[in-house]
Structure 1
Amino acid sequence: MTLLRPCAFLGAGLAFVLWSGTAGAGGLERDGYNIDLLFEPGFATEATATYVNPQRKLNNVRDTNPDNGIGSNGIGGGPANGVKPASDYWIPRIGFKAGFGENIDCLANYSQPWGVHSDPGPNWMGANDNVETKVNSHSYAATCSYKFQVGPGQLRFLGGLSYQELDGFQERLVAPVPTMTGSNLFGNGIGRLDMAANGTGWRIGTAYEIPEIALRASLVYNSEVKLDKVYGTLDLRQIPGFIRPDNPFLGKSTEVTSSAVMPQSLELRVQSGIAPDWLAFGSVKWVQWSKLQSILFCSEATLAAGPCTHKR
């Protein structure tokens, strides 16, 4: 599992940036979109929870930006090997499905399609990059379908809507702070960004089924979810202003805002019975992660002066 990497530019404009590369963005996907319950006959329910315990560790960690200090204490502190960046987590899913007559089926379900939790802590070589990052999601969806006989099986067309809520935070060592007798009298140098947003999306698809042999092929498109208003709070109260007197954000908490798009996707799933009590299945999925390369947060005052730009 890859992690969402935070960085900060402490100039007079930009406050914080959430960044994930094209490959790393996929680390945000957890349960994705699952509507398999829709294809069950009659009335059906589902309540599942999957536990994930990542075992990935980082070795040979190097601080690539010495301008804001190196390591956990600014002079190379903290381990560079054996760092476990990802925390364990649960993935719940709940669904209720009902059939209406012979042709119509509907599904209402709750899931957590996106999420990440990285908690390497403040004492490692990459503390300037990440102390803790967590993103949660909650998706409430309704999907209905209409099916009719075609040849030996049934052709189905489906569509639905979803409402998604996202929230999370990031903490990182913004700058090492001078200590007095080993205490954090002036602060611990850690900045925190909290964020929350919501948006709606839709899905459309088709499927062909031959129930007698458990054959099903489905193609489902899920739209992007536009988060037009991402609200956030940038807390830099643990970084005293005397470190950078020209920076108006240090030593205070600032309301920030942004916008983002959760990516659209297209998934083909195929399954078939191959012997009594045996089922073969597979899927191919495309997700437009290029739409979620970065989430740039700016203060309201900065937006009033003009659009935000990121300069490292």
Structure 2
Amino acid sequence: MKTKRISKGLMVLAAGCAFHAPAMAGGLERGGYNIDLLFDQGRFAAESAVTYVNPQRKVKNVQDINPANNLVGGGDLNRFSDSADDAEGYWVPRIGMKGAIGDSADCMFDYSQPWGVHTKPGREWAGANENIETKVESDNYAVTCSYRFDMGPGQLRVIGGTFYQELSGFKERQVIDDLVVPGTGVGRLDLEGDGWGWRAGVAYEIPEYAFRASLVYNSEVDLNDITGTLDLAQVNGTVLDVHGAQKMPDVVELKVQSGIAPGWLAFGSVKWTDWSQLQKIPFCTAAVTGTCTTANGVTTLDLGYRDGWTVSGGVGHKFNEQWSGAVTVTWDRGTSQGFGTQTDTWTFGAGASYTPNQNVEVRLAGAIGILTGGSSSTVTLDGETYGQRVNYEYDDDLVAAISTSVKVRF
């Protein structure tokens, strides 16, 4: 009986200590998708969590490879610094509420920020014609439900849900040399869009052994009507309305956890994200009423990603009825393909869970990771050219994160 009670106490520990895997993944991933609250054993539960991530990506040996072109290349920027800080710290919040419906059904509502990016190397570096500042933010509102029934020694759970997603962001870069125009020569692209998605999955649980295996698919989100402005007031005095379309990636994630000894839990996950959908994203003026392409577009967002893979594993231990802890290791395959700074990431984390009574749980976790080194230069992917403005290199860098959450169940 003691073994069963300790195993049940470990059922949610893995979720609390594996926060750093999505928060440091490639592409535009921030918090990713998380439905672990749906599995909480209380009839009603509410959770609030926040993670702060501080990447330290620095680029060096930066070279403007188109210095003679003053009109579309930004001019000769090699007069500026050949190094820059290419990453900004960010917060990832999440709020969720879960309720049981009868003895077999559960539903959860949650708010999260699955996607985002923020880089700000500034104007005083040789790559300002590629990027001065880029920022993308997202808001995701989801409802997810499940129905479970007995099967063998445990229960099979069928999962389904829908979510509404909003994205917004901007990018600034040096379009024309400020030495040859009255303004700064900086152009700014502002964008926003929204769309719907859905999720479906299955899970099998044997609470007596703290065993759970889940497989969940999250659909792509079709942003059919992305609108915004291309502000060239500091370049040629114009501001253009622009539009485009893009699909945010679908995601498949397999999670497994199991008790391996009294008070001990092993857990792991494998996730695939379809980041290869984000290549060269064109935007057109209002004069273009048909499909917007790189041929008829006025500007593009150049990403050139490949699919992402994230693999995580760890071990948790329940010390007593109040305290539990866990350690994790995560590998995330970089999404860059010779253009950009998103190489492989290795992350090591540790977390603790304090449960003063059966209704309250407080978690604190921290992680440190290695952003592996590489370089960025001109590449051709599927017939499209990327990185034709600047070359640079980067060494292995550190990333650190801290996360805290509070859960109340009754």
TM bin, normalised by shorter chain, reads 0.7 to 0.9
Partner of 2:230: 234
Return the TM-score normalized by structure 2.
Answer: 0.63
Aligned partner of 1:166 in structure 2 is 167
The aligned residue for residue 293 of structure 1 is 279
In the alignment, the residues of structure 2 paired with residue 206 and residue 304 of structure 1 have an alpha-carbon distance, to the nearest angstrom, of: 42
Counterpart residue number, 2:44: 43
Runs of 4+ residues over 6 Å off in structure 1 = 70-73
Structure 1 residues without counterparts, runs of 5 or longer: 1-24, 180-184, 240-249
- TM-score normalised over the length of structure 1: 0.82
Query: In 1, Cα distance between the equivalents of 2:291 and 2:106?
Result: 50
Q: Which moved more, 1:48-57 or 1:60-69?
A: 60-69
Q: Is the 8 A contact 1:45 1:97 kept in 2?
A: yes
Per-residue CA shift, 1:272-299, capped at 9, x if unaligned? 1223443221111111112121221110
Give the distance between the partners of 1:203 and 1:299, measured in 2 at CA.
34
Q: Which has the higher strand share?
A: 2
2:93 paired residue number: 92
Residue 268 of structure 1 pairs with residue 257 of structure 2: no
Residue equivalent to 1:216 = 212
1:188 CA drift (Å): 0.5
Paired residue secondary structure (2:247): strand
1:202 corresponds, among 182, 198, 201, to: 198
- Does the Cα contact within 8 Å between 2:204 and 2:214 map onto a contact in 1? yes
- Give the 3-state SS of the residue equivalent to 1:107 in structure 2: strand
| Deviation readout 1:116-172 (Å, 9 max, x if unpaired) | 000111110110000000000000000000001111111000100000000000000
- Percent identical among aligned pairs is 56
Q: Take 1:208 and 1:68, find their aligned partners in 2: how far apart are those partners? A: 60
Deviations 1:211-268 (A, max 9, x none): 12211100000111000000010000101xxxxxxxxxx3210000000000111110
CA contact (8 A) 2:63 2:78 kept: no
1:166 partner SS: strand
Structure 2: state its 5+ residue gaps. Answer: 1-24, 296-383, 386-410
Shift of 1:305: 8.3
Assess if the C-alpha contact under 8 Å between 1:112 and 1:136 holds in 2: yes
Q: Contact 1:72–1:78 at 8 Å: present in 2 too?
A: no
> Hey, what's the Cα distance between the residues in 2 that align with 1:216 and 1:251?
60
User: CA–CA distance in 1 between the matches of 2:292 and 2:37?
Assistant: 45
Q: CA deviation at 1:68?
A: 3.5
Residues 71 and 125 of structure 1 are in contact (CA less than 8 Å); yes or no, is this contact kept in structure 2?
no
Q: Note if contact 2:67-2:75 (Cα within 8 Å) is conserved in structure 1.
A: no
In 2, distance between residues paired with 1:209 and 1:305?
50
Task: Give the 3 Å change call, closer, same or farther, for CA 75–49 of structure 1 in structure 2.
Answer: closer
Select 1:186's aligned residue among 182, 192, 196.
Answer: 182
Structure 1 Cα separation of the partners of residues 94 and 77 of structure 2: 46
3-state SS, counterpart of residue 61 of structure 1: strand
1:309 aligned residue: 294
Residue in structure 2 matched with residue 136 of structure 1 by the alignment: 137
Q: Count matched residues.
A: 271
Mean CA deviation greater in 134-143 or 276-285: 276-285
